[in-house]
Amino acid sequence: MPLDRLRRLIPGGLWLDVGWGVFTVMNLAAMLVFQEWETVPFHFIWVSLTILYGLRVWRSGPTFAVLSAIVGLTALGIYVDFRAGSQPPDELTEVPLMAAMFLAMVWHARRRLTALERLRRVSEANERLAERQRQFIEDASHELRTPITVALGHIELIARSTTGALHDDARVAVDELMRLRRLSDRLLVLATADDPDFLRKIEVEVEPILVETLRRWGPIPRQWRLGVVDEAQVQADPDRLAVAIDALVENAVKFSSQGDAVELSAVRGGGLVAISVTDAGRGIAPEDLERVFERFTHSRMGRDRDGFGLGLAIVRAIVEAHGGSVRAHSKLGEGTTFELLLPLVEYQAEAVGAEPGLQPAF
């Protein structure tokens, strides 16, 4: 039979088994024909069987069928040599010993295979659960937008057309609806942060983004400052990056008072640019600093009803999607500095594959 036809008859995955079978038959024949070789072919058979099983863990049925056949055939070969006087009687004990060693390996391999299969099922279940959660958050965020917008329009109309206590109550309702709309938008950002089209990156200058941020937040009664701003160009989605910086500024406003200073800056170093938002507010306790970028983290001091909310979690999601990292420094009563670390365009090639959390030499 031509070799090509034989290959078509035998699936690719079985060639290893067929080759081992041929090798085994040759060694069984050698045990009978070349009796002076003692048990060398016998050991070849068992070593090759162990290697083959390590490459391909069979099911229990085929495993024990092959094991029984090898035990029987090799025992028969050694027995024939023993009857012919070419093998000492203690060689027969090698058959059960080899079989026991192989069984021990089979037991460990099956346990490992079972554990890996269980881990695979758990991993797949977790992936399905995470996808369902992501889809639920995304759908809920979309569904909430319309009723929030409609209610907000009516409440704002009431606030503009009334005075006194009713006007004040309407303004409170407007503020709460605005907060709910921001929460919905942030949930949507977090739900889509892992999507391939989450970012639309271009080369952008950092300084104009900071200047525009100060312009938007200027009406809030704080001492707004533009600190040191090095010339820096990053590969980024300008809209998403602005959202991240806005979230940091919002956090600075929330945890500071009227007249406190809030400064924005951008400093180059180590192939990165550190975009900083510094406030002179109440600061963050050391035990809270490590978890401020987690979702719905609450400060152990002050117990602000919003805590750190989703804003800082969104900051981390956006920055990490850009291949950067975030960090924070704070002292109680003296203020807080949040930094976004992003790779500069000229160092983008070196930054690919770098682990988040790279610390530049600032």
Residues in contact with 105: Cβ distance below 8 Å, sequence separation at least 6, in sequence order: 50, 53, 54
Average pLDDT over residues 155-173: 85
> Is residue 12 predicted with pLDDT exceeding 60?
no
Distance CA 229, CA 265 (A): 5
Of 310, 311, 323, 301, the residue nearest 277 (C-alpha): 311
The pLDDT-based confidence of 295 (bands split at 50, 70, 90) is low
- Residue 266 φ/ψ, nearest 5 degrees: -145, 120
> Is residue 205 predicted with pLDDT exceeding 60?
yes
CATH number of 202-351: 3.30.565.10
Q: What is the pLDDT of residues 51-81, one digit of tens each?
A: 777 667 777 777 778 888 887 877 777 777 6
Predicted TM-score (pTM) of the model is 0.56
pLDDT at residue 208, rounded to an integer: 94
The pLDDT-based confidence of 13 (bands split at 50, 70, 90) is low
**What ranges do the domains of the chain cover?**
202-351
Tokens coding 314: 């969104």
Between 167 and 195, the more confident residue is 167
Of 291, 276, 218, 281, the residue nearest 252 (C-alpha): 281
Q: What is the pLDDT of residues 260-289, one digit of tens each?
A: 999 999 999 889 999 999 999 888 888 888
